[in-house]
Amino acid sequence: MDKQIEDKIRGLVSKFYLLRTKEGSEDFDKIWQELNAEIPLEERREAGRILREAMQEARERRKRTDVDVRTGMGDLCDVLSLSYIAQHYFQKDRSWLAQRINGNIVNGKPCAFTESELEILKFALNDIKSKLSETILNIK
């Protein structure tokens, strides 16, 4: 597939915000029709695959402001070392992790985890759970 068309397909994902309104939806449809006319019939399957990949990448980058991590963690924030989790699992500092857990407003935007960051947090908590379980079993 032509690199220029591939770039246009990936750029289309950045215009999904237009779908929020009726006028924007009409604009998006026009953009999609123009792009679709440029893609040869035999390359449309490949174009669909590229569009799906770009949409998946966009979903992974999207901040999950709908997830309330602070409430979900409850007292664990007081029990666990957020510095340890931030440094060992995210390679960030404690304040970065605390901002996301608490949903702080930074530069006018609420901090939130992305999908991939939530997966890392889940992994970190499971890893700590395993370490605690091993320690409990070793205490005699």
The CA distance from 97 to 113, in Å, is: 9
pLDDT tens-digit map of 53-63 = 887 777 767 78
56-91 burial: b if 16+ Cβ within 10 Å, else e:
eeeeeeeeeeebebeeebeeeeeeeebeebbeebbe
The whole model's pTM is what? 0.60
Residue 17 confidence (pLDDT)? 67
The CA distance from 115 to 121, in Å, is: 10
Supply the mean pLDDT for the chain: 86
pLDDT tens-digit map of 8-22 = 888 887 777 666 788
Q: What is the DSSP letter of 110?
A: E
